[in-house]
Amino acid sequence: MQQSIRGLSRRILPMLLPAAVLFSCIGCDQWTKSLATEHLRQAPAMSFLGGTVRIQYAENPGAFLGAGSQLDPSARFAILVVVNAVFLVLIASLVFFKRPAGRVQHLAVVLLLAGGIGNLIDRLFHGGLVIDFLNVGIGPVRTGIFNVADMAIMAGFGILILYRGASADTSATSGTGDRLPMGDRSPTDDRSEIADAPTSPPIGD
């Protein structure tokens, strides 16, 4: 009985943190979109920090930052709803069943999944539209209008990029080895290696 409980806990406990991050991100995304719909739909754009941050309501028919908004509605539904839903199911199976190696990589995939689900909920319940309300930039250099789900997606991609870069640097460093270059080796080093090398027994023995 105790062994079965321990085995069950070992399977469930690793899923608790990803599930908490997932549902927290989705809940925050949907809550902020509900506030934006209620308070910003008829309101003018508001600027903060000298215009660095702007809050304005927008309904996005396309993908991230409006990509694909010019597509035919049927094609847009097929790509942004059907294909996206299948892709998110695959990511969910990766998160909760296969679990990517490394906690950092696992967290990144969970953030991607949370952002994708948050925007997919919008498309299903708002006629294919996604609610956006945030815009940042300095002067004429600005982002498109985005939401919390987009922030989760960008954070996930950013973590994966940094993780890959750190892994590549670690591999390159560990692959150099501890041996000195030939130009820096002294004859004493070579003689010590020869002295320490195993010798073969005489043929006669």
The rounded distance, in Å, linking the Cα atoms of 100 and 188 is: 48
Strand, coil or helix: what is 78? helix
**Candidate list 29, 72, 132, 178, residue with the active-site label:** 132
The rounded distance, in Å, linking the Cα atoms of 119 and 154 is: 13
**Candidate list 29, 72, 150, 196, residue with the active-site label:** 150
186 and 71 Cβ atoms separated by less than 8 Å: no
CB atoms within 10 A of CB 128: 17
137: closest CA among 48, 46, 52, 50?
A: 52
142: closest CA among 52, 66, 47?
A: 52
109: closest CA among 99, 118, 119?
A: 99
Q: Is 132 a catalytic residue?
A: yes
Q: Is 122 a catalytic residue?
A: no
Q: Catalytic positions, please? A: 132, 150
